[in-house]
Structure 1
Amino acid sequence: MASASRNPAVRRPSPRRRRGPRRWTAALGAVALIAGTAALTAPANAQATDRTTAQSTAQSTAQATDRTTDRTTASKAVDFATRCVPPPIAGIPPVNGTTTARISVDTSAPKVGDTVTVTYQVTKPAAGNPVDLALPADIMTPTGEVAIGGAQSGKLSVTGPKKNPPVPGKGEFPSFSMTGTFKVTAAGAITLSPGDYNIHTSYIMELDTPCTVSNPPAPVSETVTATGGPGANERAITLATSSGRPGDRVTVTGTGFTALTGITLAGRAGAAQTADKLTFTSGADGGFTGRLKVNDRATTGIVAYEGASWSSSKGAGPVAYTVTDDTPVPGNSQKLTASVTAGTLSMSQAGESVALSSVDYGTGGGADGDLRTVTVKDYRGGAAGWSLTGKVTDFTGPGTIDAGKLRWVPACTTKEGSPSTCAAGSEGAVGSEGATLASAPNGTRTGGEFTVDARMSLKVPAFTAPGEYSGVLTLTLT
C-alpha cells in the first residue's frame, strides 16, 4: 500500500477533524502497520532519525541483494499492478498500487527431474505504513506464490523469514525475499512470474495484509530452459487382458516412450525377467501396440522398456498378468484347487486426539507432540501401491495460527514378510494443501502391513494471544 502522502485512499485527517471525535485516529493507532498493531509513539526527532536510518538500511539491503541477483542470474525486475487489502481493524479501504519484484533461480539450465530453488524478491511492495507511528524490527513474515508457465504450469508457494528493519511512520515497507522449490517435469522453456503475496505481522496481534496481482499473470521475470527426455513416470502401458493360458498373446499398448526407438516387451517374475520377450520400434508419437506371447508359467507381470535391458528410468510397468494353469490331469488323479480372496486397503489409528506441548506468551516456539500411530494394511494382492497424505486446518482459539506452521517428521516401518516396502514422507510443513505422510510403490506384487508415525511441531509466534488452540488433521489413504 502506498503511503498516505501519495495515495488519496489513505489521507491524514484535516485539522477540523482532529478537533472532533478521534475514532479514525484511534483505529489507526491500534493498527500502526496495515498488517500490524499497537506501535509505540516516539518523540518527533526520534521518529525522523528512525525514518532516515530505516530507509538507508532498506535501500542498502535492496541494492546489495540486487547486485547479488545480477551476478547469479539473468532475471529482470518487473512492475505489476497490485491490490492490497488491509486488516478490517484498520478501517482503511483496499488500495491499488504498484509492486516491483524480481524472480531468481539457483540454476537456469536444469534437467528434467531436477529440483530448482526459486527466490521471489519484492524490492518495492505496494503496501506502506499509513500512519505517523513507527514500527519495530522483525515483525513481518512474508509468504507468496510464483506462477509457473511455458513447458510446465502451476503455482509455487514461497515463504520468507521473519525479519525486517524498523518502518518509520508514513514510510514505505522494506524489501523482502521468499524462497521455495519445484521439480522440473518437462523439457523446454519454463517461465516464472511474481504472484500474489501476503505480509503477516506478529506484533501484539496476528494480522495479514494480502496483496493480489490485479491483472494476472504478472510479467515474466525469469525463464529457465530444461533439458532431458521423458521421465519414467511419463511412460505407461496397459494390457488388453490380465490373464491367459500358456501360449496366449496379450495386447500391450504403450504411451510416452521416445519416438522411433527400440522397445522390448517382457514378462517379469518379481525382480527377474522371464523367457517371454518381444522387440519392435515405437511410433513417431512415442506410442505402440504389441502382442506378447506368454509361455512361461512363472510370469506374474509385464514390462516395457527402451534399450537392451530393463531400466526404471526408461521403462513402464510391471502390470500384473496371470498365467492360467491348464495342465491336464493324469489318469486316476484328482486336480485340487484353492483360491486366495483379495482383501482391501485400510488404515486404523491408535487415537483421535493429540495434546501438543504448551509455549509461553512473548516467547513462542514449538508446540510438540507425536501423531497417533497409524497402521496401514494392504491386502488387495494386486500391483498397485498406496499413498497416505495429511492436511490440517488453521488452529483457532483466541486468535488464529496458520495451518502452514504445523510441521512433521514422518517415519514408516514395514512388517516382516510384506511384499512392499513403505517409504516415509518428507520432513516439512503439512499445511492446508497437504503433504505425504508415507507411501509404497507399484510393483509386480504388492501388499503388507505398515506402521506410520510422525513427530509434529506447531511453530507458535511469540505474541500469540494466550488460550487453547485446536486444528483438525485429516489423513487420506489412496
Structure 2
Amino acid sequence: MLAAAAGGALSAPAAAVDETPPRGVPGLVDFPTHCLPPQEAGLPPADGPTTARITVDDPAPQVGDTVTVTYQVISTPAVAAPDPDRGPEGAGLPADAPAPTGRILLAGAQSGEVTVVGDRRGLREGPDGPSGPGAAPPALTMTGTFTVTAPGEITLAPGSYTLHTSSPVALDTVCTAAAAPVSVRLTATPLPTANLRSVFPASPAGAPGTRLKVTAAGFTPGATVTVAGRAGAAETADRAAATADGLGVALAELPLTDEATTAVVAYEGAAWSAGLGSGPAAFTVIGVAPPPSGTQKITATVEPGALGMTQAGEAITLGAVPYGDGGGAPGRIGTVTVKDARGGPAGWSLIGKVTDFTGPGGLRIPGGSLSWTPTCAAAEGSPSRCRAGSAGTVGPDGAVLASTPDGPLAGGTFTVDAAVTLQVPPYTPPGAYTAVLTLTLS
C-alpha cells in the first residue's frame, strides 16, 4: 500500500485491493479511514473504508509471555499514481523504500499500543510484478510483538498506519483509523504463585473413634480451613473444619472413622485444589479388631517425601558480543533436576526471574533483554508429564521455566534446561555485565 510512486503523486481513492475477502474470517474488520497525502502530492485527503485483519500467534498466553501480532491491511483508500513524465514503468516503488508502519491498540486487562512494521519491498510490487498505473496497492502485512503484563481478557483493534516512499524525496501517507472495532480477543492467565500451605498430623497413625489433632499452616487469616482424610486422589469420610488465626494457622481435631484413610489434607474453599490446598501428609488408621486365630495383620506404609530441586553449577557465562555491533550473547542455564516425591495430586511450577545486568560504572542492560527457550523431560516411570515454559522474555517479572499439571497421583523426577540469549544494544561500553537469575519451585 502506497504513498507515492517514485517521483509521482497520489490519486483519488480506489476500489478494494485484490478480491473481496470472505466475511466471517476471524479477525477481519472494516473501519472508516482518513488518509492524508503528503503536501507534495497537491491532492485532497482520501476518505474511505479500510479492510484489515489482526492475528496473534498465541490466543491464551501467560503473564510474561511475548505475543507476536500481525496487522494485515487488505484494502485502503490510499492508492498509487504513476509519474506522468516517466510513464507506467514509474509506478513501482524503489526496492529500498522505508518499511510501512502501523499501530495496534490494546484494551481490557492491558492497555497500550503495539508498533508493527512491514517489509521494505516496493509497495506496489506484487508477486507477478508491478501493478498497472493507478492500480490499488496489494495487501500489506506488518508484524510486531508485545509482552503480556496482566491477566484477563485483552482486546486488539487496528489503529493508524503509515505508507512510505523515499524516492525522490521522503513522502508519507498517514491513514488514521476512526472507531475501529475489536479484531482479536485473547485471554491471559496469571503466573503460578508459590503455595506455602502445609498440614501436620500430631501422629502418623491412630485408631478408629479417636480424634486426631491436626495443625494447618500458611492459610489466609480468617479463612475456613477444611481438614480431611484422603485415600489416593479421593477424600474419605473423615472431615473437620477450623478457622485460621491471624498468622494463617488453623488447629483442628479430625474424627477417625474411615479405615481407608491413608493421608490427611487441608484446604480453603469447597474442595481441595493445588492453589488453595496443602499437599497430603501420610497417616494410617489402625483397626482395633483382633485378627482371626492363626493370622497376622501386616501393614506397610509408603511415606510421602518432599518437592525439591538441585542445579548443576553456580554461574552462567554468556558468549561475548563485539563492541559496536551489539546482538545476542548466547548461553545455557545449569541443568535443573526437580524431584517430586510428595505422592499427592498437586503439580508444580518452576519460575525464573532475572535482575538488570550491571556493568562498569553502574551501567545497566535491562533484565527484560534476557530471553530463554526452555526444555523439560520426565524420567522413565514418572507419573506426571513435564511441560516446558514458553520461549520468550524472562525479565524481572518472571516467566515459567517448566511445570507439571495436577493429577490423581502426581510426582516423578524431571530434567529442566534452557538456552538463554541476552540482547546487547550496539555500542554498549565494554566490560562484564552481571545479573542474578532466581528460580522458585512451588
Query: With structure 1 as the length reference, what TM-score do the two structures score?
Result: 0.42
Larger radius of gyration: 2
Q: Which has the higher helix share?
A: 1
Query: With structure 2 as the length reference, what TM-score do the two structures score?
Result: 0.45
